[in-house]
Structure 1
């Protein structure tokens, strides 16, 4: 989406909030309402892309942290943390 590179998450969220307020206020023509609705859908998509990207980055960071910490947490010959007070499931 071209707008994703142009808008930060915060910018897209703030503009989406403005679009929703304008739609809720009413007094717009049908064409204006449709244009705003379509812009809102694009902005919601941009926000979703940013959030999905953030979720993926967090998941990767947590996996890297877990992988780096795992060998130090386990005793040799003990699988899945068994024997160190952790439940192996």
Structure 2
């Protein structure tokens, strides 16, 4: 899976929240990833796109909430997040963009 366009399909966007900022103190970065991506694919994508060494990848799936839209019930999409822990000395600056 060396096609760069396919790697950008795996990594959707960085997540910048208070919890993600706290994780960055432990040398971790949080990304929204494709729902069907696996940990090895996420690791390869991060290492190829950013040129860093990945120590570990932890993932979590947040189920979409049921919300009302114009009086009718709708469901938000499910979101998969990847907490990527980097090796010592490696950093990713998510504030500048890809």
TM bucket, shorter chain: under 0.3
Higher strand share: 2
Higher relative contact order (CA 8 A, sep 6+): 2
Higher Rg of the two aligned structures: 1
Higher helix share: 1
